[in-house]
Chain A
């Protein structure tokens, strides 16, 4: 749990990194020789997608902690992480669609395994909420949600590796076994954007978690006062 006085520091770091990332992408990163200006969508689209994977992974880790150690609060942390992962998933799909339109002339390409697998992953985690809210609050709901979150994490490496295994000719592969296929400045801009996204996600995670914990405590207090 993050101390309350650290949250403004995290939020300020997110803002600073985001402003720096936008400035570097706009003024320092060179324009791609092949795709032109539209390639600059890459600096937000890919970090957003990787952050969504990280959030789902964190949610699965917390689900494992809940099932394995019965860690108090791990169920709530898992839920908040998956919620954030779905939000970043929405951003990934929207920014990807915009990039697809300018690059391929279509908003969506069903023949691309990378796109379809990400959509499957997104829908799988969107269904997590249907499962969670169809069960009454309590240990049963926490256990079912944790098992579901753990199943979903198996889709992350599948989604990530699909493009490399299926010889997808539509979706570009930037990170190869030989290293990133871009200049040093482009890679720096990408890393900065990814750091900004991760810190932004961490900030939103802690804000939402603090709100949910407060909500829980207020419910407990109400029960004490009303009885």
Chain B
């Protein structure tokens, strides 16, 4: 491999690695969002369970 080939490969690799790092960071953030959604779902379910059952009443 010549010096020019090495430098060209390095330049293209830099672009690839930076984009890959960016995608990894986004993937980490998405995993955090997924955890938060699960947490909020549990919170919402617990809130529904805590509410007293409503009884049907005759109107009029």
A222 proximity list for chain B (CB < 8 A): 36, 40, 43
| Contact A204:B4 (CB < 8 A) given known A44-B11, A45-B11 | no
Contact B47 A94 (CB under 8 A): no
B30 proximity list for chain A (CB < 8 A): 211
A87 proximity list for chain B (CB < 8 A): 18, 22
Contact A95 B3 (CB under 8 A): no
- Judged by DSSP, the binding face of B is helix
- Judged by DSSP, the binding face of A is helix
Closest to B19 in A: A200
One of A32-40, A68-76, A126-134 at the interface: A32-40
Closest to A94 in B: B14
A215: interface (CB < 8 Å): yes
Cβ proximity bits A87-107 to B, threshold 8 Å, 1 near / 0 not: 100110011001101100000
**Closest 5 CB pairs between A and B?**
A37-B4, A102-B7, A41-B11, A95-B11, A98-B11
